Amino acid sequence: MTQETGTLRFALLDASHGDTNTRRNFRRELDADLAEFDATESELPSHFDFDGVVVTGSRASVYWDEEWIPPLVDYVADAADRDVPILGVCYGHQVVAEALGGRVEDMGEYEIGYREVSRTTESKLFEGIDETFTVFTTHSDAVTELPAGAELLAENDYGVHAFRKGHAWGVQFHPEYDTDTAEAVTKGKDLPDERIQSVLDGITAENYDAACEAKRLFDNFAAYARRVRMDAAA
């Protein structure tokens, strides 16, 4: 690993099927050098010599029968066993839950747009973030059963929005999104035109500014990863 005073190095496991917004957004938000891997093309690291692992969103479901998914889940499980800090976002949140023994299921409906989420407890990941905060959401799967020993960190009326187990964290929402990404993702959904337009109408500067509060969790995760690295060096 890098020295404790040096730049953090994260593995970015990109499950977005090559969506250009994904890497741009994470490059902007993560204060670390990123080793980027296209998980959907079965690209995964051959080692765990990173200060952290970040798993992105995806149009896939973790329970789909696609050959790239089990190796991704296994890599995340192995990283967790090695106490590497992990952050999963949306699909990545579901991958972390699956890797650690939780359950992910089809919700039978869609949560999409700027929504409110409430913290259920104090957490290092959400330091400096209000108890109820605004985020952009887009998902039709949910973590319906947390891994054994995991702690629920945030939720809303659609269910689990954040949890932690050990050094692994998952958030169901998309703190990395900018308005261009939110608009592009919304327009690509197979939903009724009225629902699409309603979401697009909500993608405003005011809502985006409110959602920027949740971006603090990226700095909080980096700070946590740095503490883990320093503790290991000590």
Question: Would you name the residues annotated as active-site residues?
Answer: 90, 174, 176
Structural tokens at position 163: 């949890």
What gap in Å lies between CA 109 and CA 190, rounded to an integer? 12
Give alpha helix (H) positions in 128-215.
179-187, 193-201, 205-211
> What's the farthest any 2 CA atoms get from each other in the chain?
57
What gap in Å lies between CA 148 and CA 151, rounded to an integer? 9
What gap in Å lies between CA 186 and CA 195, rounded to an integer? 10
Structural tokens at position 158: 């659609």
What gap in Å lies between CA 95 and CA 55, rounded to an integer? 8
CB 116 within 8 A of CB 156: yes
Cα–Cα nearest to 135, from 111, 164, 100, 103:
111
Structural tokens at position 151: 């702690």
